[in-house]
Chain A
Amino acid sequence: MRGFTYTRASDADTAIRAVVHNAEAKFIGGGTNLVDLMRENVERPSEVVDVNGLPFAQIEELPNGSLRLGAMARNSHTANHPLVRVRYPVLAQALLSAASPQLRNMATNAGNLLQRTRCYYFYDTTAPCNKRQPGTGCSALAGYNRLHAILGTSPQCIATHPSDMTVALAALDAIVQVQGPNGQRSLPIADFHRLPGDTPERDTNLGHDELITAIDLPALPFARHSLYLKVRDRPSFAFALVSVAGVLKLSDNRIQEVRLALGGVAHKPWRAHKAEEILTGAPATPELFRRAAEAELQTAVGFEHNAFKIELAKRIMVRALTTLTERRLA
């Protein structure tokens, strides 16, 4: 690991000032991903700014009914907050499906959004990787690509975003609150992460000198009827092959509103707008669910080892919709 200077920030302005003039500076929260990447020499900051002392660990209800998740609140605390468990079960489940209890106690909400792909070639500093070293090529395209993306890929990169939390946030239309040297701004979760395109080295639209302060969950009463399904190689402590966050509002077996987002399939959490369009207003039937899933995956492209994800994604969408419908009718 490269040596670095370490400072602690006690407020956001100090933290931002510390990184603004140093392109090699990094914030550290839980460290679960950054320390690992530093040890592998994938990340080589010259300066690490500890933001654990910042006053953003609260989870609180806002006057407009939103729930504000502090950037520094731990994933375990967020998942177990009573309002998250009751109002947004899809988020509680997504958080609890991720990593292990020890890692969830360390990982912060902001850090979860900023974690990097687990593509093996991104971690392997001897392999070409456009995300780690732009212009060197993508080793996964012709390599072992079982975990890789099937939607929104580019010839430059087929990595997936590994987070479960962000898949639930995508379904809930969360808002990411950000502070930078010039003030604050709000980024809808849909605009937070990027597709790889020609700049796979950029995971997000967050500036180097910007700091996440909170993630807001808009009031969404029907999110009480939501779930997170995750298919993986072992039943615990594994990244998703494919996952789905689903939120459903039914009235007399007719779909009034629906939110679906897929994980493990793209460079960002994949909101299933095409499927939602087909589902909204229609009677909830297995045939409709399948048709919506087919439409969403129409543009999917599989690679040598991950083509199974296309059918898997369809089936898990159908399973989520079926389960949510059955629960409502029970």
Chain B
Amino acid sequence: MTGLNWMGNKMTRVAVFGASGFAGTAVIECLLSKKDIEVIAIIHSDGNAWRLSRRKDLTLRQVDIMSRQQVKEAIADATHVVNCTRGSDEVMLKGLEILLEEAKQAGVKHFVHISSILIYGDKPSPESVHDTAQPDPQTNAYGILKLKQDDMVQNAAKNGLPTTIICPPNIIGPYSLFLNGLINMIKNDQFGLLDNGNNACATVDVGNLAIAIERALFNADGTGSRYIVTDNQDVTWAEVTEYMLNLTSKAELITIEKQDIERNIKAPKISLNPLKSLIHLVSSDVREALRKDPLLCRVDMFFRGLVAKLPGKMEDRVRLGVEGPTKISKVSCGPPINWQFCSAQMRGVFHSCDRLQKDLGYTPENTFEESMKAYSKWYCALRGYDTEFEELLKRLA
């Protein structure tokens, strides 16, 4: 294969890293539907690539993004690169560094990176409606990591690699991990609706996300920019959860208050207390672990023998001093709410994709309602709810 088309120009070859993930697969399917584009699906392992490997029209390539040589070989012929990879902090930072350097080296025409709306933190500023706002991930660990990645990608743009960042919120549509998680939480009483569900729930259909990435790949106007992508609709949690509730046997959602969330996700205060540390060190839990060593076991037995020789009340006082009073933990009688997840309802910002539409001509293909209906159909078909076995299968849920 020469890599040249009949005009003698280099063919458009898009290498999609993280191709087997939810977003990556949608990008692959979107690109495969276009003429004159050759798609190189880069996966980390074959175990998660089933949605792609069922296609005979696609060759998968297994690459360890931490291996510079493997990355170099994988993108040697690529004209464009999309990065949808996820992994450990090291993979996301070092892997991205390798990918950016090798993409520049290979003369890649455009590099598109998927970021996350969490770069604006758990409590985004009102200005973050627009993607021109300064990101501030606050204490959100994933947001901090994604912002570090964004900085690397934007630095690469300054150094000559044309890059664009696409920043999605909750990704919906068939196979959606966000919706799968939400429905499971509703089923297991882990989700509570705040303020009657009137708060913003930013969403983007996975197909719309793929369209935005495709626009960014082939439009130089977005070089060096970061764009928020949504379905261009102001969606609330009430609207999202209404679809989800219909897929469960629940009659209604649990309701929660803002104070409940704030109380339950308050970070624990860590203070240094040498006395408490000493008491912990000589506590029965620590001693039990140490007794697994024969020598330390003997030492422990020696001290226990000494304590046992003390007069009765004295022995009890020593034990009480070391172990502390008997503690009984509070057992919650309420539902096992996932407060961290529920706190996303306090974000309160309807993000806008205006700039993506204006700069890159992005037009969402699927509406929020169409995406949710498609998810519902996928979910029902997957679970056999469209068959005479529905009642039997619900017994397994």
* A, B co-complexed: no
Give chain B's interface residues, CB within 8 Å of chain A.
Answer: none
Give chain A's interface residues, CB within 8 Å of chain B.
Answer: none
